[in-house]
Amino acid sequence: MVINAKGQVTIPRQTRERDGLTPGNTVEFSVERDGIVLRPIKATDTTLVDAWLRQTTGAARDKFTTAKLMKLTRR
C-alpha cells in the first residue's frame, strides 16, 4: 500500500469485499507494538456509541434558553 499526499491508503478490494467494508463504514485505528491495526466497527458496537458520546459531551457554546431549545426540538 502507498500513503497518498493526504495521508490516506486504499484498502485492497479483495480485503474490503471479504470483510464487508463499504464507503461510510466506521473503522477503529490503533497502534500496536508490532504495527498498525485497522478494525471495522459495527453500528451496534458500544465503541461507536461511546465515541459519539465523547464528541457530544460538554457545555454548549450557544446560549439557548429552555424555550428556544424546546422550539427547535419540536419542529
Q: Which pLDDT belongs to residue 44?
A: 65
pTM (2 d.p.): 0.49
d(CA 64, CA 15) in angstroms, rounded, equals 47
Q: What SS3 state is found at 28?
A: strand
Least confident of 7-11, 18-22, 34-38, 46-50: 46-50
**What does the pLDDT look like over 30-72, one tens digit per residue?**
999 999 999 888 766 676 777 777 777 777 777 778 888 788 8
d(CA 31, CA 70) in angstroms, rounded, equals 43
Please determine, for residue 74, whether its predicted confidence score (pLDDT) is greater than 90. no
- Delineate the domains of the chain, giving CATH numbers in brackets: 1-57 (2.10.260)
Please determine, for residue 20, whether its predicted confidence score (pLDDT) is greater than 90. no
